Amino acid sequence: MKRRVVVTGIGLVTPLGIGTEQTWQALIRGQSGIGPISRFDASDQASQIAAEVKGFDPEAWFEKKQVKNLDLFVQYAVAAADLAWKSSGLSITDDNINRVGVITGCGMGGLPTIEEYHGVLLNKGPRKITPFFIPRVIPNMPSGHISMRLGCKGPNLCMTTACAAGTHAVGEAFRHIAYGDCDAAVTGGAESVICPLAVGGFSAMKALSTRNDDPTAASRPFDRDRDGFVISEGAGMMVLEELEAAKRRGATIYAEIVGYGQSSDAYHIAAPPEDGEGAARCMAAALRDAGLNPENIDYINAHGTSTPLNDKCETLAIKTVFGDHAYKLAISSTKSMTGHMLGAAGGIEAAFTVLSLYHGLLPPTANLHTPDPDCDLNYVPLVAREQKITTAMSNSFGFGGTNGVVVFRRFA
């Protein structure tokens, strides 16, 4: 019998702010975190815009000499995990030290470090490569550093499943607790690859928006004039706990996680099937796992990337699963404000979904001025909505045809 699992801590490091409250308030205001790329000279790139984390001070979490040995995605992950841990009030004791896990998601790891030290190799030779090169780039370094920082000796895993990685991490943490492999877990996603190689690579795939003259309007999910996603970075972490343990210590419970689904499109390396059937099977699997009917869902935080194919196919998938109820659902894409954080997206958007349940506030889909005729559902356009919801879903779909969906319920 599965144990019940709840969310007791949230930590966010995003282009909208450092910390959960700052990020959430900006999101609800419909504020964009997107602007011209400042990380490097992007003048020769087709896409010259990104959603960069601003005002992040790594020395708030690390000693100065340690900072240079950690890629940004690890720094963001540790900071978000620390914020989530503190908000949860959980502590490591002799009784639970082996029962608290860390399961994180990351799509691409330390690509900026790879780019930097490839240059070092070519220009200065192999003996000038730092011994920290490998530990800086491995995608599972967030889970390793978080475990060491907090003293968690339970399961330590990393999901590297492209843009579904953060969602898969949350879902796997849920299952590890539900089936007794651990009693609590720090989980979510982290990513930071705003660098010439990543931007150039995604541009070569025609995946990125080139609305360079109007960055804040560039990410426009479900809008007729969308032209691609905007690359982003950040980290979103949550603390999940077995319900009875959380209640015994008087923890604040933000929501309960009740379902997790996975599927494969088995179709194409980057494009979804035109009917969205893989995404539909994934949402249906999450509903089965939760023991819910389609009409029980009130809100979906959509994958909603602002690419022509994704938004149309996700809309079709929602209609397939929810039928007539699809038109009664509230749906929004927070990528319209945060950009697409790749492997971090699922962790951050799961946290947004939990906060929507907790506060009774639905984030808007920014820039949705002219809906695509093929995207005819209720996407909470432009302005946040006060609405008490009971059950919500968060979708993530990744290159390689990998899909992940998690379902949360308001805790009362």
Q: Which residues are catalytic?
A: 163, 303, 340
Please name the amino acid found at residue 113: T
- DSSP per-residue string spanning 337-387: HH-B-GGGHHHHHHHHHHHHHHHTEE--BTT-SSB-TT--S---BSS-EE-
Phi, then psi, of 175 in degrees rounded to 5: -70, -40
- Give the N- to C-terminal CA distance of the chain in Å, as an integer: 22
Please name the amino acid found at residue 380: V
**Please, what's the largest Cα pairwise distance for the chain?**
64
Q: Within 10 A of 131 (CB to CB), how many other CB atoms are there?
A: 7
Q: What angle do the packed helices 196-204 and 111-124 form, to 10 degrees?
A: 110
Q: Which two tokens stand for residue 45?
A: 């790139």
Residue appearing with tokens 């819910």 = 292
Distance CA 8, CA 70 (A): 28
Q: What angle do the packed helices 345-359 and 165-178 form, to 10 degrees?
A: 60
Cα radius of gyration rounded to whole Å, the chain: 20
Please name the amino acid found at residue 352: F
Cβ atoms of 77 and 56 closer than 8 Å: no
Closest by CA to 309, choosing from 367, 268, 350, is: 268
Burial of 94 (0-12, 13-18, 19+ CB in 10 A): exposed
